[in-house]
């Protein structure tokens, strides 16, 4: 689930589609789409914040089942493994046309794609720094 925090497209809402490792960001304003972006339209992606936690309800159920079946140690193990891990991350995306969007994402598949884009950007920066005199990868 995506929660829009800020965008340069005033009054727009955000819809993110992810499939086969590709991502599309649609900024929607009424019946218009003022911004439809793919990975090639992204200038940079930054992870602003990340929060990891376990779902509490499932941890309690896991603790009860573990405690009933195996006693005290099962109670602790059930609590530790019963809750599903969840991650909420906030991202800022700047597009090639100068627009931006800041949002919070809970969906793991979308976070994974954005994290890969960030990783690729960091690798390009590291290569550029290691090879002074070369402004971009592939140029000499």
For 7-20, the pLDDT digits (tens) are 998 889 999 999 88
Cα torsion 109, 111, 117, 123: sign: negative
Q: Is the pTM of this model over 0.75?
A: no
Q: How far apart are CA 105 and CA 103, in angstroms?
A: 6
Residue ranges and CATH numbers for the domains of the chain are 2-49+88-130 (2.30.29)
Looking at residue 98, what is its pLDDT? 92
| 8 Å CB contact between 2 and 104 | yes
Looking at residue 76, what is its pLDDT? 46
Average confidence (pLDDT) over 25-53: 85
| 8 Å CB contact between 121 and 137 | no
Average confidence (pLDDT) over 79-105: 81
Average confidence (pLDDT) over 41-58: 74
* Helices 72-82 and 56-70: angle between axes, nearest 10 degrees: 150
């Amino acid at each position: 689930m995506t929660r829009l925090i800020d965008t340069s497209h005033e009054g727009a809402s955000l819809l993110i589609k992810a499939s086969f490792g590709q991502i599309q960001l649609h900024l929607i304003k009424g019946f218009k789409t003022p911004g439809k972006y793919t990975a090639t339209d992204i200038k940079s992606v930054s992870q602003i914040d990340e929060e990891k936690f376990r779902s509490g309800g499932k941890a309690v159920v896991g603790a009860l089942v573990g405690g009933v079946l195996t006693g005290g140690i099962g109670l602790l193990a059930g609590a530790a493994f019963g809750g599903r891990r969840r991650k909420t991350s906030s991202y800022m995306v700047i597009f090639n046309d100068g627009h931006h969007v800041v949002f919070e994402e809970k969906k793991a598949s979308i976070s994974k794609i954005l994290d890969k884009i960030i990783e690729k950007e960091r690798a390009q920066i590291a290569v550029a720094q290691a090879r002074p005199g070369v402004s971009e990868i592939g140029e000499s």
